[in-house]
Amino acid sequence: MEKRILVTGAGGFIAHHLVKYLKSRGEWVRAVDILEPEFEVTQADDFNKLDLRLWDSCVTAVEGVEEVYHLAADMGGIGYITAFHADIARNNVLMNTHMLEASRQAKVKNFFYSSSACVYPDYRQSEPTIEGLKEEEAYPAAPEEGYGWEKLFTEKLCQYYAEDYGLETRVARFHNVYGPLGTYDGGKEKAPAAICRKIASSHNKDEIEVWGDGKQTRSFMYIDDCVEGIYRLMQSKHREPLNLGTDVMVSVNELVDIVADVAEKEIHKRYDLSKPQGVRGRNSDNTKLAEYLDWTPTINLKDGLEITYKWINQQVANSRINS
């Protein structure tokens, strides 16, 4: 029997893919966002344009649903989240607190919250060759300013709603999700999409700008693995925050080289040390992910980037034709 499910943030990248995934499983899905998806028509049974910073919008969104996947957020790449601390923290705290309380009042059975690896302390990420971050290492707290703090606060709020009201909450800490149908320009794009766009816009042997010195490291998770992990976590009994990412760490320089290889272009790098680059090293420890979900991401970075680059390359080509 199909469930009645709400997905918030469904005009955005991850939640749009999640709607498609849930529909492929035969579920009834209401999608909510302030904007409709940019690149593809939603498959949701019901799409509502709502501003979830407003209490009445959250009440409307949860009406008649059994499960909530709350992915709505004011967010973007490192350039965006380091420039707008007040806006990001205010907007997200309003959405998160209203959605939790509206879900409680509507007697929603299960509530998923999309957190972030930005909750981890900067003192654990000061070198590019770090070990994977374990979930318990989020404390003592020193998360990323603005975005990281509001994510960590909402993790605790989910815990309190579970303890005080019995709302079954699930929390995933995303580690750098990428793939097609995501933002690739305009300032909110993340590193894989930005690099794909820059290389797609370049000719063979051109030079592209790299933020920082290129030695900062990250792990990257393809979108199909992300939505699979979200669903598996929601079906599990695990109530504590859980890493959701790959444990394969690469430098930004290596990321550029992989995309250049996919594009079959020789690309040179020009470093801009004045641009934000975030922490020096970040990687996911997937020990608990494997233990509690009996699963870890399976799509390797080059395979995922081939799909992502092909899509972004087509968008760049289309914009040239239409300009």
Residues annotated as part of the active site: 147
Where in the chain does DSSP place strands (E)? 4-8, 28-33, 46-49, 67-70, 110-116, 168-174, 177-178, 207-211, 217-219, 221-222, 242-244, 249-251, 268-272
If you write DSSP's letter for every residue of 161-184 in order, what string do you get? HHHHH--EEEEEEE--EE-TTS--
Question: Helices 252-263 & 301-322, crossing angle to 10 degrees?
Answer: 70
d(CA 113, CA 151): 9
Contact 195, 302 (CB under 8 A): no
CB–CB of 132/255 below 8 Å? no
Chain centroid offset of residue 2 CA: 26
Is-contact 68 6, C-beta < 8 A?
yes
Cα maximum dimension of the chain? 60
Q: Which whole-number Å values give the CA distances from 230 to 15, 78, 291, in the listed order?
A: 10, 23, 15
> Of 9, 55, 59, which Cα lies nearest the Cα of 29?
9
